[in-house]
Structure 1
Amino acid sequence: MRDKPHVMAIKYTLLTTLSILMMLPVVVAFLGSVRTNGEFMTQPFGLPTRGLHLDNYILILSDERFWRSGLNSLGITVGVVLLNVILSSMLAFAFSRIRFFSKGLWFNILSVGLLFPLVVAILPIFIQIRNFGLTGNLLGVILPMAAFGIPGSVVILRGFFISVPKELEEAAYIDGANIYQFFLRILLPIVRPAIFAVATIQIIAAWNEFFLPLGVLTGSPETWPLPLGLMQFQGQYGTDWAAVMTYITILMIPAIIFYLFTQRFIVTGLTGGELKG
């Protein structure tokens, strides 16, 4: 049953308004990055009046600290995604295809992790990281981020694993496959959209994470990722808001490009929980 026209109008109005509000900071940052600081301070929401000003991009892209921070962000992102996807897929497989004692209880306990974002556990995480001697080390950021992303990833992947017909698994075993071969060669390729969705979510989260690196890597500027590099850059160029907007724009570009190329996998992975035989 279709919604009535006035209901559809309200929905589209709300969605359009939310889209504008979400895109406004991106637009402001980009417009500020291609104008002089004087133009930006005079009219933050205005268009360039003296042509495109690209000196800020040259300033940032020629800074060695920016590229070092970029490599640190890349290392954190790759580490988080690999750990999260590998561990989550194995856990989701266990919770969906293997029988063991109190499976439902353990899955519910794991799902409780969805209620607690990473930021609420910064202090105990920092204490544990310090006890393990990982402060100032990228592993001190990678391990907690990968762990806190596991509950959401398991929930997504488990739904897909359950939707794979049991007959397919039985046929694989009849053909001589063992449980590991079924998991690696049959199940994972089938649920590839869900894996892409999980990986994309983790990539965006790891790339933009600020508070955990701030607590773990504060004393080691050479290990700072781009969000902390932005903080350092703002401290140096605090009055040059056009340059700061340029740094923010560069920081957003990889995540936006990656999302544009993988959005269909995200939609399929989050909404396609049923597979047709």
Structure 2
Amino acid sequence: MSDAFAVRRRPLDLVPFYKGLFLALVAAFVVVPLLATVLGGFKTLGELRTNPFGLPESWEWENYAGILFSGRYWQMLWNSLVISSLTVVLTLIVASMAAFAFAHIHFFGSSMMLSYLTMGLLFPAATAILPLFIKVRDLGLLDSYLGVALPQVAFGLAMSILLLRRFFKDLPHELLEAALVDGCSYVEFFRHVTLPLSRPILATVGTITFVHSWNSYLLPLVMLNSEALYPWPLGIMIYQGEFSADWHLILAFITLTLLPTILLFIFAQKHIVAGLTAGAVKG
């Protein structure tokens, strides 16, 4: 009887409720602007000013159709894809090799060098835009895909190396010892053992790098002069006049260009979670 009474008097656990409420607020904070952007693309400019968050009175499908059937939109999308793909490939190649060295090879100054790389997280690309422009100009890479991709790689290496190094260190050290005993070199172990086992973190770093490069605005604006090479963030300028802007077309353009990254996150979600949580629990 006393046990049943104690069960009935057990206090209600409100922690799951507060967690759900917090997650709902975060989801609303993210979804509401996206939904307003999508709906804004279906409105006229006048309706967008008077009714920015409500449903359109008349759905203007021409806003999206005009963008989709224009060759300029697909050219800018292609430019963004090339720049982002170059950035991802170069970042994964350089960051994975550097992270492997920091994780498994002990050499003089490794800690100091890792700390130096970590300091790169404190400085965004905007703080060094003038030296970057001069260096890219001296290399003859202005107005080219590499002129945008290489600075993005440089400023994305710090975070990429830290994520990859943490994952590499959590791999069983016995694998490396057994490989070295069998005569396997560090390069062979990195290529045939470490990389195949590191697909989750490679997918995580690749996705984060791709999205960051896809949405980059400042570096393409400074490094590119030809409109034929403009990525999609610079394409918004064609809808901006001297005294006004076609905001309904801008919102439609943003919706169409953000759709690839949203789909990428949806399909790579499992790999991203697995890569970020790997090694978080010991034992």
TM-score by length of 2: 0.89
Equivalent pairs, count: 272
Is the counterpart of residue 107 in structure 1 residue 96 in structure 2?
Answer: no
- Alignment-derived partner of residue 276 in structure 2: 270
Tell me, which stretches of 5 or more residues in structure 2 are unaligned?
1-11
- Alignment-derived partner of residue 62 in structure 1: 69
The whole-number CA distance in structure 1 between the counterparts of 2:36 and 2:278 is: 35
- Alignment-derived partner of residue 105 in structure 2: 98
Deviation string 1:40-77 (CA, Å, 9 cap, x unpaired) is 23311111333x43111221122222111111101100
- Structure 1 residues 136 and 192: alpha-carbon distance in aligned structure 2, compared to 1, 3 A threshold: same
Mapping for residues 1-277 of structure 1, pairs under 5 Å: 5-6=13-14, 9-50=17-58, 52-217=59-224, 219-235=225-241, 238-273=244-279
On the 8 A contact 1:160/1:274 being kept in 2, the answer is no
The whole-number CA distance in structure 1 between the counterparts of 2:80 and 2:230 is: 8
How big is the shift at 1:116? 1.3
Greater Cα radius of gyration, structure 1 or 2: 2
- Structure 1 residues 255 and 64: alpha-carbon distance in aligned structure 2, compared to 1, 3 A threshold: same
The whole-number CA distance in structure 2 between the counterparts of 1:239 and 1:126 is: 29
The whole-number CA distance in structure 1 between the counterparts of 2:129 and 2:199 is: 32
TM-score by length of 1: 0.90
Deviation string 1:71-91 (CA, Å, 9 cap, x unpaired) is 110110010000000000000
The whole-number CA distance in structure 1 between the counterparts of 2:238 and 2:220 is: 13
How big is the shift at 1:174? 3.4
Amino acid at match of 1:272: A
How big is the shift at 1:274? 5.4
* RMSD value, Cα: 2.2
On the 8 A contact 1:238/1:244 being kept in 2, the answer is no
Deviation string 1:222-246 (CA, Å, 9 cap, x unpaired) is 1110000112233499543221111
How big is the shift at 1:276? 7.8
The percent identity for this pair of structures is: 41
How big is the shift at 1:178? 2.3
